[in-house]
Amino acid sequence: MALPSTQGVLNPLLNIIEPEPAGSWTALTSWGSAANWNPSATTIEWPAQILDLPRGSCAIEIVTEAAGDVEYEIWVSPSGAFDGDEVITTIEQGDEDIPAFEGVSAIIVIKVTNTNGLPQIFDMRARATNQSRVIRINSLNTSTLAGTVNARTLDLGFTISGITNIQITPKSVTNYTLAVYSTDYPTSNVVIPVVVDKTVPSIRLVGLDNVPRDGVIDVVAEALPEQYMSGNNLLLR
């Protein structure tokens, strides 16, 4: 099982995470010199929690109390074994529009940097959720969307972290000719919706001749909330 590295120690008296000492207590010449025990320690790194993730895509919320600026590494394992199969996502101060996570388990790693004093972690709470909002869009002409006919980007009206479910119903498509071995070439207005990317999200409509086309559609999407950094916290909205 591969685990993140640790850079810090648990202070059992105060129940907080602090930097590792640069020396030992035996090296101190007086109690007063203990104040200079970690004169150059500005960063700590601590695997704070292992989360069981819900089935499918999910969003993660983390609230941390710390002395210093916080960044996160989220290690997600699709098997839960953390045997080298994990995907690591680094989340920094000010990050927004963070994609959803998908796997069996996640390890939350906290990195704290404090250039004005001792970096410390006082508390951390994290949760994973697959609760989504339902978004409905009627009579949407795909030709008005960004992208190309091969991949039209859906504008759901909200910033999201991912799609858990999507239903696309074609309503109208300009008739096209089917090239077949016949003297009369039939026409069709049938298209099959294809989800290209659930994160962006993007779609295309493919005719019976395997050619992508634009058309008018109805969309019902179940979307996960946006994940964004606010100060030291990874929040949802």
Name the 3-class secondary structure at 74. strand
- Closest by CA position to 162, among listed 89, 73, 83, 64: 89
Which pLDDT belongs to residue 225? 96
CA trace torsion 139, 140, 144, 145 (10° rounding) = 180
Count the Cβ atoms, other than its own, within 10 Å of residue 235.
Answer: 15
Whose structure tokens read 């045997």? 83
Give the pLDDT confidence score for residue 1 in this predicted structure.
60
> Token digits for 9?
């120690």
CB 226 within 8 A of CB 96: yes
The predicted structure's pLDDT at residue 160: 94
Opening angle at CA 189, ends 184 and 191, nearest 5: 125
Residue 127, phi then psi, degrees to nearest 5:
-150, 150
Cα distances from 203 to residues 100, 134, 208, in angstroms, run 18, 18, 16
| DSSP 8-state secondary structure symbol assigned to residue 200 | T
Q: Domains in the chain and their CATH numbers?
A: 9-130 (2.60.120), 133-225 (no CATH)
The predicted model scores a pTM of: 0.83
Token pair of 99 as six digits? 């994609």
Query: Along the 237 residues of the chain, how does pLDDT read in single tens digits?
Result: 667 889 998 988 899 999 876 555 555 555 554 545 555 679 999 999 999 999 999 999 999 999 999 999 999 999 999 999 999 999 999 999 999 999 999 999 999 999 898 899 999 999 999 999 999 999 999 999 999 999 999 999 989 999 999 999 999 999 998 876 655 678 899 999 999 998 889 999 999 999 999 999 999 999 999 999 999 999 999
For residue 44, with 0-12 CB atoms within 10 Å meaning exposed, 13-18 middle and 19 or more buried, which class applies? buried
Nearest-angstrom CA–CA distance, 50 and 76:
10
